[in-house]
């Protein structure tokens, strides 16, 4: 609709451009003022339904009939919601349990520690974890008066069958001046078995830490002041796959509101649709059972203040979702659909509001029956649970005073003090292949939207001729005029706007008429205007 909505602005801009080329390019010693009456063609353009709706929103059937398709995600749970693995660190410290001294030769192992550490993940009991991305930072601090070698191994983390092991050489240090070395290991691709040494627990890391004196050193004498400290810091862990029990959390969603941009330019009128079908699709790509209760789904038109709530058995009743199926490397989502139409709901009335807001509220309960999978809940990196609303509207309709509005700022020649355009008549020649008439209202408004003057448009765009089958079989010609007075031109040169309103009515108000992809409205605009050349000098 862009070309149609801005044709007045285009016309006002094109008049001085036409005059500019008619005056030639020679230089004048002075700047004369010429008062010219000119009839000039300005714009030739066409309008189709695709100027109102994006191609991605339209489906064209074999016979050319159009259907509006709209999708909106109401709610979604992804990986970071269901399984959050926060950055965490574990500290390991060794010091002699007695004052010493203890003399050790070069190469002697003076500390060995095998330990299990529980991951800090709330309400989740993980048995296995495959890491998509993440890192292990190991920092070793030594107060031993000999170079030492520290080795940190996670026996329960393997890559290609090999356990994760990090070794660092640490220079000699003292209690007063300790030395520190650090290393970072990429955890991408590692498989973590979190069942512990006996394979009977969850969330458990199995680690081994050893310190020995450098075999190439001179040995060392240890006291209870000669400590070594290792800090393992796990950061940025993103799962590729996880298996265990994910608990039974509940999520309250909303009341929440999302914008609908389909009808932004429609400000009033009545739209009567022959048929509306909406599908609510619940897709569960996570290996958990779920229960959803939709408390509200409503639509509102903030321009008119009207709102309606969906009436259907789905509202207020529980919807049970089966878990996804683990295919050992991928998954198969479970899908549950509810179809709404004119016969089982008021979905058509919601769409006929021409809403710009969609409101919803729902609850989600994970594993409502507890751990019935015996610790075999799962998710993949791409797993998600989401609720989508798909609306299908065949463009078979009746429109009554359906009004589209656009506000533009005129770009006129000259200045507010001495302007080039004085007065004139704009002519619009229309050839209409749509089954509705179109009347045009044009107002000059101030920045606050107050109407300063109206510019009458004489005439109406006639409807195309509708045949016995309800489709247009002949296009119709129309001629509209708009007079611009001197006073109205003065207002246009002030800090004002042009408000354009186009009012559509289907030619037959008793039957729904199908819109076809071939329908087109052709427009030609000419101007008979009085223009002062160099009027702004």
119-128 pLDDT, tens per residue?
Answer: 878 789 999 9
- Identify the domain boundary among 203, 222, 245: 245
Q: For the residues 497-521, what does the mean pLDDT come to? A: 88
- Report CA torsion sign: 510, 511, 516, 518: negative
Per-residue pLDDT band at 12 (split at 50, 70, 90)? very low
Q: For the residues 88-95, what does the mean pLDDT come to? A: 89
pLDDT at position 37 over 80: no
Per-residue pLDDT band at 537 (split at 50, 70, 90)? very low
Q: Of the candidates 41, 215, 22, 246, which has an alpha carbon nearest to the alpha carbon of residue 128?
A: 246
pLDDT at position 165 over 90: yes
Same domain, 269 and 281: yes
Q: What is the pLDDT of residue 223?
A: 82
pLDDT tens digits for range 314-345: 999 899 999 999 999 999 999 999 999 999 99
Q: What is the pLDDT of residue 155?
A: 93
Q: What is the pLDDT of residue 405?
A: 78
Same domain, 186 and 135: yes
Same domain, 291 and 335: yes
Q: Rounded to whole angstroms, how far apart are CA atoms 402 and 263?
A: 11
Q: Which long-range contacts (CB under 8 A, 24 or more apart) does 449-453 make?
A: 449/499, 451/499, 452/491, 452/496, 453/487, 453/488, 453/491
Q: What is the pLDDT of residue 145?
A: 87
Q: Rounded to whole angstroms, how far apart are CA atoms 250 and 524?
A: 61
**Partner residues linked to 522 by β-bridges:** 46, 431
Q: What is the pLDDT of residue 2?
A: 42
Q: Rounded to whole angstroms, how far apart are CA atoms 422 and 536?
A: 12
Same domain, 378 and 437: no
Q: What is the CA radius of gyration of the chain?
A: 37
- Identify the domain boundary among 369, 394, 419: 394
Same domain, 260 and 314: yes
Q: Which residue range forms the structural domain that includes residue 275?
A: 67-80+249-394
Same domain, 161 and 192: yes
- Yes or no: say if 151 and 165 are a contact pair by the CB < 8 Å rule: yes
CB burial of residue 274 (10 Å; 0-12, 13-18, 19+): middle
Q: What is the pLDDT of residue 236?
A: 94
Same domain, 59 and 71: no
- Yes or no: say if 166 and 194 are a contact pair by the CB < 8 Å rule: no
Same domain, 54 and 148: no
Calculate what percentage of the chain has a pLDDT beyond 70. 88
Write the CA distances from 61 to 58, 66, 335, 339, integer angstroms.
10, 7, 27, 21
Whole-number average pLDDT of the chain: 85
* Beta carbons within 8 Å of 504's beta carbon, 6+ residues apart: 269, 399, 401, 402, 403, 404, 436, 437, 438
Same domain, 137 and 274: no
SS3 breakdown of the chain: % helix, strand, coil, rounded to 5? 10, 55, 35
Same domain, 96 and 236: yes
Weakest mean pLDDT among 49-63, 482-496, 506-520? 482-496
pLDDT at position 33 over 60: no
Concatenating the DSSP letter of every residue in 288-354 gives S-EEEEEEEEEEEETTTTEEEE--STTBTSEEEEPPPEE-SSSEE-EEEEEEE-TTTS-HHHHHHT-
Total tally of structural domains belonging to the chain: 3
- Identify the domain boundary among 332, 359, 394: 394
Q: Rounded to whole angstroms, how far apart are CA atoms 223 and 111?
A: 13
- Yes or no: say if 130 and 232 are a contact pair by the CB < 8 Å rule: no
Same domain, 389 and 437: no
Q: What is the CATH number of the domain that holds 108?
A: 2.60.120
Dihedral, CA of residue 25, residue 29, residue 33 and residue 34, to nearest 10: -40
Q: Rounded to whole angstroms, how far apart are CA atoms 275 and 281?
A: 20
Same domain, 111 and 198: yes
């Amino acid at each position: 609709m862009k070309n149609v909505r801005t044709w007045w602005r285009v016309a006002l801009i094109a008049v001085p451009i036409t005059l500019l080329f008619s005056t030639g390019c020679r230089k004048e010693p002075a700047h004369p003022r010429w008062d010219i009456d000119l009839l000039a063609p300005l714009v030739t353009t066409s309008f189709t339904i695709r100027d109102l709706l994006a191609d991605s929103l339209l489906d064209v059937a074999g016979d050319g009939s159009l259907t509006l398709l709209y999708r909106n995600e109401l709610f979604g749970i992804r990986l970071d919601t269901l399984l959050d693995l926060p950055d965490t660190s574990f500290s390991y410290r060794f010091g002699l349990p007695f004052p010493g001294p203890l003399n050790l030769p070069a190469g002697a192992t003076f500390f060995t520690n095998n330990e299990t550490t529980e991951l800090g993940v709330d309400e989740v009991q993980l048995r296995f974890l495959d890491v998509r991305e993440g890192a292990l930072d190991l920092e070793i601090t030594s107060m031993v008066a000999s170079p030492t070698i520290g080795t940190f191994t996670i026996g329960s983390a393997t890559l290609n069958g090999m356990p994760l092991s990090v070794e660092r050489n640490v220079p000699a240090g003292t209690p007063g001046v300790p030395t520190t070395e650090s290393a970072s290991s990429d955890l991408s691709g590692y498989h973590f078995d979190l069942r512990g040494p006996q394979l009977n627990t969850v969330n458990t890391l199995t680690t081994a830490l050893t310190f020995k004196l450098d075999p190439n050193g001179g040995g060392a004498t240890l006291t209870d002041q000669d400590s070594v400290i290792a800090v393992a810091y796990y950061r940025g862990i993103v799962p590729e796959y996880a298996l265990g029990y994910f608990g039974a959390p509940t999520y309250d969603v909303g009341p929440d509101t999302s914008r609908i941009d389909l009808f932004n330019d429609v400000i009033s009128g009545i739209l009567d649709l022959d048929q509306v079908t909406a599908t609510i699709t619940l897709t569960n790509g996570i290996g958990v059972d779920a229960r959803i209760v939709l408390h509200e789904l409503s639509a509102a038109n903030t321009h008119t203040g009207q709102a309606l709530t969906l009436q259907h058995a789905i509202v207020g009743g529980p919807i049970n979702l089966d878990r996804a199926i683990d295919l050992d490397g991928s998954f198969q989502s479970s899908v549950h659909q509810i179809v709404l139409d004119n016969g089982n709901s008021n979905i058509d009335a919601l769409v006929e509001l021409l809403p710009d807001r969609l409101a919803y509220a729902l609850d989600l309960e994970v594993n409502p029956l507890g751990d019935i999978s015996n610790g075999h809940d799962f998710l993949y990196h791409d797993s998600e649970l989401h609720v989508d609303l798909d609306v299908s509207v065949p463009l078979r309709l009746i429109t009554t005073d359906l009004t589209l509005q656009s506000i533009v700022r005129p770009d006129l020649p000259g200045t507010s003090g001495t302007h080039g355009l004085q007065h004139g008549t704009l002519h619009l020649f229309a050839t209409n292949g749509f089954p509705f008439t179109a009347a045009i209202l044009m107002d000059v408004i101030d920045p606050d939207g107050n109407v300063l003057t109206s510019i009458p448009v004489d005439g109406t765009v006639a409807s195309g001729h509708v045949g016995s089958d309800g489709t247009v079989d002949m296009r119709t010609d129309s001629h509209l005029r708009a007079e611009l007075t001197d006073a109205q031109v003065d207002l246009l040169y002030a800090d004002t706007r042009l408000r354009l309103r186009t009012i559509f009515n289907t030619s037959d108000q008793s039957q729904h008429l199908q819109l076809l992809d071939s329908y087109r409205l052709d427009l030609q605009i000419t101007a008979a205007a009085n223009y002062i050349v160099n009027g702004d000098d």
